[in-house]
């Protein structure tokens, strides 16, 4: 059961530290985002690549050019998906990561693909994850989801109140991402909000330069690996957290990805 899971069990933490601490410490020693680059560009980039992971076909170049010329764009629905996700990132930059704000972010990012009654509301139906080969994962039952989310936010609040090391910040950011993907709390938009929460927590604990980490781009460019490593079991009750380190390693890898 979910009550047997705890972020504070520090699954694979020693192995994670051995592989990633030096990379994370190097990044943490740099005080600000790259000089001369507007932070809004990083947000736009994150929103585009995160949307691409979910099948949106608008590339970063097309999106940025559309913003400059403000011309009519044929792919209106796909454009709205990215615009709404940009707005969600902007909201996150200005607000603390709490359950209330988490739900508000979902209302913002999912406007173009969910009906109003499903926005910012935890799902009340069963949910599975499908690939081209069929069903690959079954999330927690809807009747158990409220307690599972209560457990998530209780531990989140405890962890976020701590004075964490740089390595712990990255470790927990990735684990929050992973756990939200496993919980699948909404009817849609779960991947987008899980990736945003990862970045949101990083920025909350490490400062605004975290918004410049190209994690969404890295996940998009390594999409098959991302989906393979996020999958720890066939359902919510058969997850092997001893394998979690392979997914957790992806975020630090994005720090050294080639431009």
For residue 55, the domain's CATH number is: 1.10.3290.10
| Euclidean distance between the first and the last CA atom of the chain, given in angstroms as a whole number | 42
Question: In Å, how far are 43, 61, 93, 187 from 68, measured between CA atoms?
Answer: 16, 11, 23, 33
How does the average pLDDT of the chain come out, rounded? 94
Residue 38 confidence (pLDDT) above 80: no
> Which tokens go with 5?
């899971």
- pLDDT for res 116: 96
- Bridge partners of residue 138, in order along the sequence: 128, 235
Taking residues 65-91, report their average pLDDT: 86
Going by their DSSP bridges, the two strands 134-138 and 128-131 should be labelled as: antiparallel
> Which tokens go with 23?
């990379």
Contacts of 34 (CB under 8 A, 6+ apart): 212
How many domains does the structure of the chain reveal?
Answer: 1
- pLDDT for res 1: 47
Single out the residue of 73, 84, 23 nearest to residue 50, CA to CA.
84
157, 148 Cβ separation under 8 angstroms: no
Query: Which DSSP symbol is given to 235?
Result: B
Question: pLDDT higher for 69 or 259?
Answer: 69
Q: What's the whole-model pTM score?
A: 0.95
Distance between CA atoms of residues 242 and 239, nearest Å: 9
Question: pLDDT higher for 32 or 146?
Answer: 146
Taking only the tens place, the pLDDT of each residue in 195-220 is 999 999 999 999 999 999 999 999 99
199, 210 Cβ separation under 8 angstroms: yes
100, 106 Cβ separation under 8 angstroms: no
Single out the residue of 72, 76, 71 nearest to residue 58, CA to CA.
76
Taking only the tens place, the pLDDT of each residue in 53-77 is 999 999 999 999 888 776 666 678 9
Binning pLDDT at 50, 70 and 90, where does residue 181 land? very high
Burial class (CB in 10 A: 0-12, 13-18, 19+), 31: exposed
Residue 47 lies in domain? 2-255
């Amino acid at each position: 059961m979910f009550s047997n899971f705890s972020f504070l069990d520090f699954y694979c933490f020693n192995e994670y530290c051995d592989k990633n601490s030096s990379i994370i410490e190097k990044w943490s020693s740099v005080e600000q985002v790259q000089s001369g680059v507007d932070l809004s560009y990083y947000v736009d980039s994150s929103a585009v690549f995160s949307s691409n992971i979910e099948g949106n076909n608008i590339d970063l170049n097309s999106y940025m050019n559309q913003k400059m010329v403000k011309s009519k764009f044929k792919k209106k629905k796909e454009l709205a998906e990215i615009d709404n996700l940009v707005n969600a990132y902007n909201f996150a930059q200005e607000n603390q990561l709490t359950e209330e704000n988490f739900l508000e972010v979902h209302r913002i990012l999912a406007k173009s693909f969910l009906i109003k009654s499903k926005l910012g509301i935890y799902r009340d139906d069963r949910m599975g994850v499908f690939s081209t080969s069929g069903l690959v994962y079954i999330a927690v039952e809807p009747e158990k989801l409220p307690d599972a989310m209560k457990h998530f936010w209780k531990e989140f609040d405890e962890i976020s109140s701590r004075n964490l090391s740089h390595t712990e910040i990255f470790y927990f950011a990735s684990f929050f991402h992973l756990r939200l993907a496993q919980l699948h709390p909404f009817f849609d938009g779960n991947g987008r909000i899980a990736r945003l929460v990862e970045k949101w927590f990083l920025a909350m604990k490490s400062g605004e330069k975290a918004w410049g980490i190209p994690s969404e781009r890295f996940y998009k460019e390594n999409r098959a690996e991302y989906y393979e490593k996020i999958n720890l079991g066939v359902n919510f009750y058969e997850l092997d957290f001893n394998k979690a380190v392979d997914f957790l390693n992806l975020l630090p890898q994005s720090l050294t990805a080639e431009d």
